[in-house]
């Protein structure tokens, strides 16, 4: 197979959660550039509709759906609608995420639960729903968005968000465990662990301490809107057909 074919996603259908902004938007556009039809979903439908319009202008089919990944009925409806309108789900990107910064002793239980519900339970529920369809077809690529925060323990002055880091560590093990269980069904399960990227979620922190954060990263820079695209396409495409259960760090070397 030619190298261009290995990274070609024409004829594939991708579902990207949290696809209306930030890393989800970047991933959705990368998959579209590689030829995939892309459905984007999140709680904020307006954001997704704007991205879906931009994706269609790139020459692929797209659809925006409202979906709260903490609600099983929303997930089941979303998966069913994608299959009805596009015929299949070949690629699932579990990108929806939440965070909450607070010292451990001040972390409200409701904040902890929210982060866990979105980042861990949401990833499980969406994988479960799409996975049933993928098992029937004998094929699927699932990409979970973890974080470098799930691979290391930060000092409080670095990242004081224990619920977020714990949830992303859970996503990392979930990825490995699910990959082991579903390999026999032709389903690949991998994760990307981004480091610091310039997004709405990190904007306030980077405005205050961006230079100091970049200085601690071996490559000396913060991730931009192009730096996640290659990893997303690789794990979605035939190029990664002998790769499963792996965590690809895209973090400028910050977890070394």
In a domain, 79, yes or no: yes
What is the pLDDT at residue 139?
98
Q: Residues of 15-25 as b/e, b for ≥16 C-beta within 10 angstroms?
A: bbbbbbbbbbb
Give yes or no: 164 in active site. Answer: yes
What is the pLDDT at residue 5?
96
In a domain, 93, yes or no: yes
What does the pLDDT profile of the chain (256 residues) look like in tens digits? Answer: 899 999 999 999 999 999 999 999 999 999 999 999 999 999 999 999 999 999 999 999 999 999 999 999 999 999 999 999 999 999 999 999 999 999 999 999 999 999 999 999 999 999 999 999 999 999 999 999 999 999 999 888 778 899 999 999 999 999 999 999 999 999 999 999 999 898 877 777 788 778 888 999 999 999 999 999 999 999 999 999 999 999 999 999 999 9
In a domain, 217, yes or no: yes
Within 13 Å, how many C-alpha atoms sit on residue 28's CB side?
Answer: 35
What is the pLDDT at residue 58?
97
In a domain, 20, yes or no: yes
**3-class secondary structure, 244:** coil
**Residue-range definition of the domain harbouring residue 205:** 8-250
- Please classify residue 110 by burial: count the beta carbons closer than 10 Å to its beta carbon, then call 0-12 exposed, 13-18 middle and 19+ buried: exposed
**3-class secondary structure, 83:** helix
Residue 73, H or E segment? helix 72-86
In a domain, 2, yes or no: no
Total of domains in the chain: 1
What is the pLDDT at residue 34?
98
In a domain, 256, yes or no: no
Q: What is the CATH number of the domain that holds 144?
A: 3.40.50.720
In a domain, 241, yes or no: yes
In sequence order, the 6+-apart residues with CB closer than 8 A to the CB of 8 are: 34, 35, 237, 238
Active-site option among 139, 164, 188, 234: 164
In a domain, 255, yes or no: no
Distance CA 220, CA 236 (A): 28
- pLDDT one-digit tens code per residue, 137-149: 999 999 999 999 9
User: How many other β-carbons are positioned within 10 Å of the β-carbon of residue 242?
Assistant: 7
Report the predicted TM-score, pTM, of the whole model to 2 decimal places.
0.95
Q: What is the DSSP string of 176-202?
A: HHHHHHHGGGTEEEEEEEE--B-STTT
**3-class secondary structure, 90:** coil
């Amino acid at each position: 197979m030619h190298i261009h074919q290995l990274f070609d996603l024409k004829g594939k259908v991708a579902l990207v959660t949290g696809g209306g902004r930030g890393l989800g938007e970047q991933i959705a556009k990368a998959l579209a550039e590689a030829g995939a039809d892309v459905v984007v979903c999140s709680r904020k439908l307006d954001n997704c509709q704007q991205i879906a319009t931009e994706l269609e202008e790139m020459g692929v089919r797209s659809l925006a759906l409202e979906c709260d990944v903490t609600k099983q009925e929303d997930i089941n409806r979303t998966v069913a609608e994608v299959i009805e309108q596009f015929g299949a789900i070949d690629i699932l990107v579990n990108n929806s995420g939440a965070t909450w910064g607070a010292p451990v002793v001040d972390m409200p239980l409701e904040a902890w639960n929210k982060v866990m519900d979105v980042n861990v339970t949401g990833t499980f529920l969406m994988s479960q729903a799409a996975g049933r369809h993928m098992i029937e077809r004998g094929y699927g690529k699932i990409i979970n968005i973890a974080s470098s925060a799930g691979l290391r323990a930060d000092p409080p002055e670095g990242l004081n968000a224990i619920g977020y880091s714990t949830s992303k560590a859970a996503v990392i093990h979930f990825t490995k465990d699910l990959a082991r269980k579903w390999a026999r069904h032709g389903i690949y399960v991998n994760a990307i662990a981004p480091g610091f990227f310039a997004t709405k979620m990190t904007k306030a922190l980077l405005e205050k301490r961006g230079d100091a954060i970049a200085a601690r990263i071996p490559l000396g820079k913060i991730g931009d809107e192009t730096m996640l695209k290659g990893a997303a396409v690789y794990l979605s495409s035939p190029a990664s057909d002998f790769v499963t259960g792996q965590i690809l760090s895209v973090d400028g070397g910050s977890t070394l």
